[in-house]
Structure 1
Amino acid sequence: MNWDLSTPFVIDIKVAADDIDGLGHANNAVYVSWLERCAWRHSQSLGLDLAEYRRLDRAMAVVRHEIDYLAAAYEEQELQMATWIVESDQRLKMDRRFQLIRPEDGATLLRARTTFVCIELSSGRPKRMPPEFIEGYGRALMQPFPLEL
């Protein structure tokens, strides 16, 4: 697969009949649900599932999506969504990038970037990331490329 960045976390997606809108392709809102699914599965793979969020009284909440819809997806198509954690201040904010590819022809259908903020579940207010978030999400953080001299 021709991913934009190395070492992606990837999920498989099959476009369902319920994903299709009146124009005959996957609805834009469905793409957002795929972003959420991919991010959530990646978090779970890092040991940060809903039970851990509740135990820590913390969660990563979306504050901004930037989405470029590049091509349409159609019913029954097999797709792959990748994500990378590309930035983190290891206090409050974290950014993910996403890429959606149709493997049958290698076409990129979507690129997106999402900004998350750590919140306290009990109050809904921004709170510093606990050490478990810094460690778990930090393991997946893309390392900057070394500068050529």
Structure 2
Amino acid sequence: MNWDRPAPFVIALTVQPDDIDGLGHANNAVYVTWLERCAWQHSQHLGLDLATYRQLDRAMAVVRHEIDYLASAHEDDEMELGTWIVDWDRRLKMTRHFQLRRPRDGAVVLRACTTFVCIELSSGKPKRMPAQFLDGYGQAIVLQS
């Protein structure tokens, strides 16, 4: 099973009973929470945790999700969700791509793209990325191919 890009940051997920909707598969809203969890764990891995965000009075806030649901995930499915930072302007915007795979059968269940904007926490307004963001997120950039 190949990833769309090299060296993703990967988290393991298991579809829980509470994730299942009336159609018998993981609810679309659950996937969004998984994207957030993966992005947040990647940020923490890069040294940019909530305490750092608060200290810097900056955060990366979602302004757009684009999600392609390619297959269904069912209760107890073991999943792998990978992410890459694929684009950024080194000022305000950053783009992540995601790929959700089911190792059991090799299915790609989802592909997504999320755009983030750097905001000042105290005002909620867009503000330039501080040097710590440039250093932290910059080490993880994987240019689009």
TM-score per shorter chain, which class? over 0.9
Which aligned segments of 4 or more residues in structure 1 are displaced greater than 3 angstroms? none
Q: Does 1:42 align with 2:42?
A: yes
Q: 2:99 maps to which residue?
A: 99
Q: TM-score, normalised by structure 2?
A: 0.98
1:1-149, aligned counterparts within 5 Å? 1-143=1-143
Structure 1: gaps spanning 5 or more residues: none
CA distance in 2, matches of 1:106, 1:47: 32
CA distance in 1, matches of 2:88, 2:140: 10
Structure 2: gaps spanning 5 or more residues: none
Q: TM-score, normalised by structure 1?
A: 0.96
The alpha-carbon deviation at position 7 of structure 1 amounts to 0.5
CA distance in 1, matches of 2:18, 2:56: 35
Contact 2:87 2:143 in 1 (8 A): no
Contact 2:84 2:97 in 1 (8 A): yes
CA RMSD of aligned residues (A): 0.9
Give the secondary structure class of the aligned counterpart of 1:37. Answer: helix
Identity %: 71
Give the secondary structure class of the aligned counterpart of 2:105. Answer: coil
